[in-house]
Amino acid sequence: MILRVCLVLTAAAVSIGIMAPAFAQAPTDPLPDDPGKTVIMSACTSCHELGLVTLKPRTADEWDRLIGKMVDRGAALTDTEQQQVLAYLVKNLGVKPEVGSADRETRP
């Protein structure tokens, strides 16, 4: 009889252990703090949401052209800030160009 009580208690203890919360996943920040981020937060969010900037990763070349495009549109960035933003975006939202991707354009 005592043995039986012990088994029940042991089983209860084990199942409480198994049911321990399993939601300890920290959210990952896609944009770590950096001087480049500070520039982006002030210079790239006046016309559109930051979400548009972080929507998809691009190659260094694409970011370079895109920043030029935004400056043409009126983004107020000094040369140094453009370099900071470019370096930051390439590091945190960059993709390597695919091999041969330049030849894969299928325009007639």
Q: Which residues bind ligand HEC (CB under 6 A)?
A: 43-44, 46-48, 52-53, 66-67, 70, 73-75, 77, 85
Q: Which helix (H) or strand (E) holds 1?
A: none
Are the C-beta atoms of residues 56 and 95 closer than 8 Å to each other? Answer: no
How far apart, in whole angstroms, are the C-alpha atoms of residue 45 and residue 29? Answer: 18
Structure tokens at 95: 């993709």
Q: Nearer Cβ to ligand HEC, position 10 or 80?
A: 80
> CB of residue 62 vs ligand HEC: minimum separation in angstroms?
9
> CB of residue 46 vs ligand HEC: minimum separation in angstroms?
5
> CB of residue 102 vs ligand HEC: minimum separation in angstroms?
18
Half-sphere exposure of 37 (CA within 13 A, CB side): 10
Q: Nearer Cβ to ligand HEC, position 77 or 90?
A: 77
User: Which sign, positive or negative, has the C-alpha torsion 101, 104, 107, 108?
Assistant: positive
> CB of residue 24 vs ligand HEC: minimum separation in angstroms?
33
Q: Nearer Cβ to ligand HEC, position 10 or 78?
A: 78
Structure tokens at 100: 């041969």
Q: Nearer Cβ to ligand HEC, position 74 or 108?
A: 74
